[in-house]
Structures are given as C-alpha cells and as structure tokens.
Amino acid sequence: MDKGWGKELIPNERYLIITADDFGMCYSMNEAIMELFEARAITAAMLMTPGPWAKQAADYSKHNLEADIGVHLTLTSSFSQYKWGPVTRDADIRSLITAEGYFPGTAYEVEQRGAEEAVRAEIRNQIEAAIRLGVDPTHLDSHEGSLLGLAGGRDFLELTFDVCSEFQLPFKLPRNIVNQPFLTPEMRKLFQDRIQAAEQRGIGLIDDLIVLPYELGEGEDYSLVKRQVSEAIKEMEAGITELVVHPSRNTAEMRAITPHSAKREFEYQLCMDLEFRKLLEDERIRLISWKDIRDRMRFLNKNGRRG
C-alpha cells in the first residue's frame, strides 16, 4: 500500500482513510478492530466513549500509540436490547435520555428533543472522557448522524464546530454531501453553509465518503460487498475519501446484538482481503490517517492559513 502524506496535499492524488467504526461498542467489534490494526488493514478507528467496552478500546490505544483513534460522538442507542447512555454527570442532560436513562433510539428523537447546551455538554464530556482514558483523539464524528440534521432538519454542527475548535480536531463532514440526491434544497443549502463555516474556522474536513448500508440486504453475500466497495474505490476522485467499515467477527455476542452480524464479518473480511489490498495498490491509492489531517489542520492554523 502506498502511504504518502505531507503538510501539503499533492494535486490530483487520491487519498484514502480506512476507518473502523464503533470501537468500544462490544467485545466482538473490539477484537476485530484490534486485529485489523495489528494487520495494518485499517488506518483509523472511532471510539464510542459511552460504549460498554470503551475502556478496553482506550487501553489498546494507550498502549499502541500508532493506532489512530477518533471520538465517535454518540447520542443514540438504537439496538433494542443492547443499550448505553450519557457520560455526563455535571450538567442537565434530561433532554437527551429516555425514561429508562438511555440515549434515544433514533437521530430524529435527538433533533426533536435535544437541548443545545445538553448536546454541547455531552459531546464535550465524551471527548474529555476519552482523554482521561489515555486516548489522544485525532478527529470527531457523529454516530448515526445525530449531529447532522439529516433526520429532521435540525443540526448541531455549529456547536460541534465550537468543540472542534477548542480541541483543534477535524470533523467527519464530507464536502461531497452537498451533491447527494436525497437532500432537499433546504438541506443542501444548510450543508453548504456549514461546510463554509467549518472551512472559515480552519476545521479539517474530508472530500468524500464510502460507506455501505449497515443492514444485511436480502441475498447479500461477501462477494457482493467486496464488489460494491471495489467499484467505489475505482471511482474515487482526487482528494481525501474515507471508507467506513463496521467490522466484527460473527460471534454469539454479535448475533445477540444485531440481526446483521454476518455483514459485520463481511466488512472485517474485506479489510483483510489480499485482493482488496492489491486493488488499492493497483489504483495508486495513498493511504493516510485522521492524524495526518489533524496535524495538517493544526499546522495550517498555527501559521494563519486555511486548507
């Protein structure tokens, strides 16, 4: 794999971050993600600080400093029997929890009920909790898009950018989101405005995103998943793209959590697949990490530049 990076992007080159999502959600995902790091099959992971297995994930990060770990800002708990709640203990966050004390099941509920100051307190405390656990965060993103406004049109991006600026961390918001056909004209304008605001603040963004549906489709098998991702890789344009996977082994634990556990193993297998790695080499894809983006962002901001 060709891994190349500097403080300046090379024009017309294609850069790829391979990120494992939901680090800390459960043991089976942790085991798979740690194996992928050891095999150098991923370049980043996202830590769910409220996740039941977050401490194990953070301990791995603490003892493997080359592992690129971001904070997966989490405000939803969407599995029916496997739940988690906020880390905040020092602020009123009642608008973010159910009567049982968990996060709500959908991003729409967060948009409808969440008080801005509660959202601000919780996401900030999730970052602080990761740092206390020994993680040196490389970036931030939004679990299930609950900060983006995609479910009901109410976003929390401006306050999220405040937190990005405070910690000098980039945020996973692909510029190409404005070209997605599912957006209404109002949502397209909102994202155009938010992207411009992030760039004016010097917050690092990416250009595009590759992510498969989380659900296992009818008749979907490993060969189909591999073909879909391979085609997306071949169609990558110049700039920074992120491939997001949700890898796990298809264990009893994972089957108890989700009916889509087989797809989780497909995505683990994809990262380990030698033919897929050869495709990245053949396509001259430059593998980078979120740490590269974070360090470039800090360099540009320190020198009074935007990029």
pLDDT digits (tens, 9 = 90+) for 233-289: 999 999 999 999 999 999 999 999 999 999 999 999 999 999 999 999 999 999 999
CA dist 266 → 78, 251, 254 (Å): 21, 13, 13
Q: Cβ distance 269 to 42 under 8 Å?
A: no
Higher-confidence residue of 11 and 248: namely 248
What is the residue type of 284? R
Distance of alpha carbon 109 from alpha carbon 95, whole angstroms: 10
Long-range contacts of 275-281 (CB under 8 A, 24+ apart): 275/226, 276/226, 276/229, 276/230, 277/1, 277/41, 279/230, 279/233, 279/234, 280/1, 280/2, 280/16, 280/233, 281/1, 281/2
Domains of the chain: 14-302 (3.20.20.370)
Residue 220 has pLDDT above 90, yes or no: yes
The mean pLDDT of the chain is: 95
Give the three-class secondary structure for 104.
Answer: coil
pLDDT at 1: 39
pLDDT 10s digits, 24-59: 999 999 999 999 999 999 999 999 999 999 999 999
As a whole-number percent, the residues of the chain with pLDDT over 90 amount to: 94
Cβ neighbours of 61 (radius 10 Å): 25
pTM: 0.95
pLDDT 10s digits, 129-154: 999 999 999 999 999 999 999 999 99
pLDDT 10s digits, 90-133: 999 999 999 999 999 999 999 999 999 999 999 999 999 999 99
Residue 9 has pLDDT above 90, yes or no: no
